[in-house]
Amino acid sequence: MIEKVQHILKEIEEFKAESQEQLERFKSAFVGKKGIIGDLFDQLKNIAPEQRKEVGKQLNDLKEVANEKWKLLVGKVESLKDSKASNAVDLTLPAVPDQLGSIHPITQMKMRIIEIFERIGFNVSEGPEIESDWYNFSALNFPPDHPAREMQDTFFVEKNPDIVLRTHTSSVQIRAMENQKPPIRTLCLGRVYRNEAISARAHCFFHQVEGLYVGENVSFADLKQTLYHFVKEMFGKDTKIRFRPSYFPFTEPSAEVDISCDIDNPKGCEICGGAKNICKGTGWVEIAGSGMVHPNVLANCGIDPEKYTGFAFGMGLERMTQLKYRVNDLRMYSENDVRFLRQFSGLNF
């Protein structure tokens, strides 16, 4: 028995494996329960009692040597596989150039707007896209019979008249006024939903940015100067701005905001690229709605309208991006066409 153990030990030490097949052969011969060493352990009961202890010790040492050898062979075969895999690479092939992605134009415009308003003290607020009637309509002074509450304008969730997909980010303004004390100066950005037919000029979802400033002695002049600053920063110092009287349930007085479109410029308009369908030949392009926050809205949020006043404005990110980058089809923003998105690679917003 001892001579047989010595012979098997020599076989194990001399065994070489460079493939998975040779590795399996070693395992079945020396490591497996049905291998040679396993048979020797089965024969141990036939050994004389006075020799059994010594033979058993040698068999245990043999088994340990076989297991160590097995680990070494496994590591060697794995390293050979890795080496062959690395050698399979054709180093004569040209290198694959680095391909950088691009920031979506809507995101670029969002970042630019935030950058402009952050410098004059505005922070950023966000809120849920699924809202209750209170935050989306009632707190904003919408009468119960207002047309915006009807199905043709609003997406209702599971036919529940009190739960809707928000139609504007004004709901975030309500949450900001409920949870903060004046002075409040914040931007509310996000996706909104309207039940509209999808076309080159309209979509059932789009993005809005709305600004809110509530404090003591806030006036319409503050609103005008804030938007003057924004327009000059976004479209250039020569851009003109005008305010037209309008109506919104949540502001009083209210005004639409237009910027000048230089349609007579022989080099092409910097705002719409000479495309008169954007300014409709008037020389002006609407960019926002604005006004002084209605006293009822302040009261609904727990703010004393006798002590505090505020202004608000809102604009569509798609429209701003259209004017800035001359994109004429709103559907392109959401179609994930790589050819369109690649045009904005490395663009400095």
324 pLDDT band (50/70/90 cuts)? confident
Q: When comparing pLDDT for 97 and 257, which is higher?
A: 257
Superfamily in which the 105-344 domain is placed by CATH = Bira Bifunctional Protein; Domain 2 (3.30.930.10)
Q: Rounded to 5 degrees, what angle do the CA atoms 137, 138, 143 make?
A: 90
Mean pLDDT across 227-251: 92
pLDDT per residue as tens digits for the range 126-155 = 999 999 999 999 999 998 887 777 755 888
Average pLDDT, the chain: 82
Identify the pLDDT of residue 263: 45
Lowest mean pLDDT, pick from 187-201, 226-240, 289-303: 187-201
What are the structure tokens assigned to 202, written together?
Answer: 């309209």
Mean pLDDT across 188-211: 87
pTM of the model: 0.66
pLDDT of 244 over the 90 cut: yes
Lowest mean pLDDT, pick from 116-120, 300-304, 337-341: 337-341
pLDDT of 29 over the 60 cut: yes
pLDDT per residue as tens digits for the range 55-102 = 777 777 777 877 787 778 777 777 776 665 555 667 787 877 777 777
Lowest mean pLDDT, pick from 100-109, 167-176, 177-186, 267-276: 267-276
pLDDT of 206 over the 80 cut: yes
Pair 177, 301: CB distance under 8 Å:
yes
Q: How far is CA 156 from CA 110, 135, 137, 191, in A?
A: 27, 14, 13, 16
Lowest mean pLDDT, pick from 21-35, 169-183, 318-332: 21-35
Mean pLDDT across 11-37: 74
The domain locations on the chain are 2-87, 105-344
Is the backbone peptide bond immediately before 97 cis, with ω within 30 degrees of 0? no
Identify the pLDDT of residue 201: 73
Scored b (16 or more CB within 10 A) or e, 3-28 reads eebeebeeebeebebeeeeebeebbe
C-alpha 61/C-alpha 41 separation (Å) is 12
What are the structure tokens assigned to 328, written together?
Answer: 């004429």
- For residue 161, which amino acid is it? P
* HEC per residue, 23-80: HHHHHHHHHCCCCHHHHHHHHHHHCCHHHHHHHHHHHHHHHHHHHHHHHHHHHHHHHH
Identify the pLDDT of residue 49: 72
pLDDT per residue as tens digits for the range 272-314 = 554 555 666 667 888 999 999 999 999 999 999 999 999 999 9
pLDDT of 196 over the 60 cut: yes
Scored b (16 or more CB within 10 A) or e, 125-153 reads bebeeebbbebbbbbbbbeeeeebbeeee
What are the structure tokens assigned to 317, written together?
Answer: 């990110």
Identify the pLDDT of residue 193: 92
Which strands make up the sheet holding 156-157, listed edge to edge? 130-132, 160-165, 156-157
Identify the pLDDT of residue 311: 97
Beta bridge partners of 207: 191
266 pLDDT band (50/70/90 cuts)? very low
Pair 191, 206: CB distance under 8 Å:
yes
* Residue owning tokens 């001892």: 2
214 pLDDT band (50/70/90 cuts)? very high
Beta bridge partners of 191: 207
pLDDT of 318 over the 70 cut: yes
